[in-house]
């Protein structure tokens, strides 16, 4: 019986938990430092099972001892991005939170696969790796699964087609320098580039890059949670079902040209060991150069914040 612990019972963590329950993926442990928050949401979800038809167990707690025996641990704990705040602004405080959470998790369950959702995810996945002492394939950041969903949504809106007809992905940093792989994107059996003008393509790309910030601007005091929670749940599902599904995630790279000793979003096969392999996809010269620039941005941030993130 699969078990997933989710650290942080806020909107993203709760959405991830509820998605996993509805899809009958695993029993859930919700952990949060706020007394009663995880317990209350767990009770609500258990009662929803009578309506939705699932019979999985949900525990809400402040005690990390309940994490023991987890196959996957999802970390959503941290501060949400506020209007005008960049992902880098979040780093100093959230790095401390992630270090504390990971230390508590591995003390109770050193064999779990860790999925980091807390932003800035590419940097904090690295923090989680160094803090945990786990092998890199067992520490994964949630990035491209969410960015690709936004990308496909904006394509479907631009062309007035069903979301299910759009096949595309986003790689690179989870931030403004992300790279929608337009050259490999299809709508039905047709290449996206044959269906949109350059102006329309630029609009889709810009909307994708700023999709999270747009939601923050509307919510005022919070950030997106339905899509991020669902994206994390999709990754967990792929891991537990040993699916080898290809999902773009933030993964550790080492000794791959200039890609060395940091996390960046790339297409990977996910399974019971975590990351099975990084999948090579065709890129144009422009896309490849954009990926190099994205990598350079991550490395610069890491160098500037090395004292905070460690490693």
Say which CATH number the domain at 24 has: 3.40.50.720
pLDDT value of residue 85: 67
Task: Please indicate, yes or no, whether residues 95 and 211 belong to a single structural domain of this protein.
Answer: no
Task: Please indicate, yes or no, whether residues 158 and 218 belong to a single structural domain of this protein.
Answer: yes
User: Which residues span the domain enclosing 45?
Assistant: 3-141
The sign of the CA dihedral 153, 159, 165, 169 is negative
Given a contact cutoff of 8 angstroms between Cβ atoms, the answer to whether 60 and 274 are in contact is no
- Rounded distance between C-alpha atoms, residue 214 and residue 205, angstroms: 14
Of 141, 176, 209, which closes a domain?
141
Instruction: Read off the pLDDT of each residue in 147-162 and give the average, rounded to a whole number.
Output: 98
Task: Please indicate, yes or no, whether residues 133 and 148 belong to a single structural domain of this protein.
Answer: no
Of 123, 141, 159, which closes a domain?
141
Task: Please indicate, yes or no, whether residues 111 and 190 belong to a single structural domain of this protein.
Answer: no
Question: What φ, ψ does residue 136 adopt, rounded to 5°?
Answer: -60, -30
pLDDT value of residue 93: 86
Task: Please indicate, yes or no, whether residues 69 and 133 belong to a single structural domain of this protein.
Answer: yes
Task: Please indicate, yes or no, whether residues 32 and 125 belong to a single structural domain of this protein.
Answer: yes
Say which CATH number the domain at 209 has: 3.90.110.10
pLDDT value of residue 308: 75
pLDDT value of residue 311: 62
Hunting for tokens 């890199």 — which residue is that? 136
Count how many domains the chain has.
2
Task: Please indicate, yes or no, whether residues 174 and 119 belong to a single structural domain of this protein.
Answer: no
| pLDDT tens by residue, 241-293 | 999 899 999 999 998 777 889 999 999 999 999 999 999 999 999 999 999 99
Task: Please indicate, yes or no, whether residues 52 and 105 belong to a single structural domain of this protein.
Answer: yes
The sign of the CA dihedral 45, 102, 141, 271 is negative
Residue 295 has pLDDT above 90, yes or no: yes
Instruction: Point out the residues that are catalytic.
Output: 174
pLDDT value of residue 138: 98
Task: Please indicate, yes or no, whether residues 16 and 154 belong to a single structural domain of this protein.
Answer: no
pLDDT value of residue 21: 97
Of 141, 169, 192, which closes a domain?
141
Hunting for tokens 């941030």 — which residue is that? 301
Residue 82 has pLDDT above 70, yes or no: no
Task: Please indicate, yes or no, whether residues 75 and 197 belong to a single structural domain of this protein.
Answer: no
Rounded to a whole number, what is the largest CA-CA distance in the chain?
55
Task: Please indicate, yes or no, whether residues 153 and 230 belong to a single structural domain of this protein.
Answer: yes
Residue 51 has pLDDT above 70, yes or no: yes
Task: Please indicate, yes or no, whether residues 134 and 151 belong to a single structural domain of this protein.
Answer: no
């Amino acid at each position: 019986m699969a078990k997933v612990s989710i650290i942080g019972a806020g909107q993203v963590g709760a959405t991830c938990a509820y998605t996993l329950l509805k899809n009958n993926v695993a029993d859930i442990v919700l952990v949060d430092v706020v007394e009663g928050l995880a317990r209350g949401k767990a009770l609500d979800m258990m009662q929803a099972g009578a309506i939705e038809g699932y019979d999985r167990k949900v525990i809400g707690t402040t005690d990390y001892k309940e994490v023991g025996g987890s196959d996957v641990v999802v970390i959503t704990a941290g501060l949400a991005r506020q209007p005008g705040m960049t992902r880098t602004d979040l780093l100093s405080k959230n790095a401390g939170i992630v270090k504390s959470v990971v230390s508590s998790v591995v003390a109770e369950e050193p064999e779990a696969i860790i999925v980091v959702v807390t932003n800035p995810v590419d940097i904090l996945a690295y923090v989680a790796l160094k803090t945990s002492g786990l092998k890199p394939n067992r520490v994964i950041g949630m990035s491209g699964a969410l960015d690709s969903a936004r990308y496909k949504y904006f394509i479907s809106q631009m062309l007035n087609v069903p979301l299910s007809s759009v096949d595309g992905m986003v790689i690179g940093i989870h931030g403004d320098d992300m790279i929608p792989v337009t050259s490999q994107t299809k709508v039905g059996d047709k290449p996206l580039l044959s269906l949109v003008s350059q102006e329309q393509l630029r609009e889709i790309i810009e909307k994708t890059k700023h999709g999270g910030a747009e939601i923050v601007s509307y919510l005022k005091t919070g950030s997106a949670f339905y899509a991020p929670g669902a994206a994390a749940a999709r990754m967990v599902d792929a891991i537990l079902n040993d699916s080898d599904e290809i999902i773009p995630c933030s993964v550790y790279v080492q000794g791959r040209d200039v890609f060395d000793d940091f996390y960046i979003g790339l297409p990977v096969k996910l399974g019971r060991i975590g990351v099975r392999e990084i999948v090579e996809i065709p890129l144009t010269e422009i896309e490849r150069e954009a990926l190099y620039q994205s990598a350079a941005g991550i490395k610069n941030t890491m160098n500037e914040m090395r004292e905070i993130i460690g490693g």
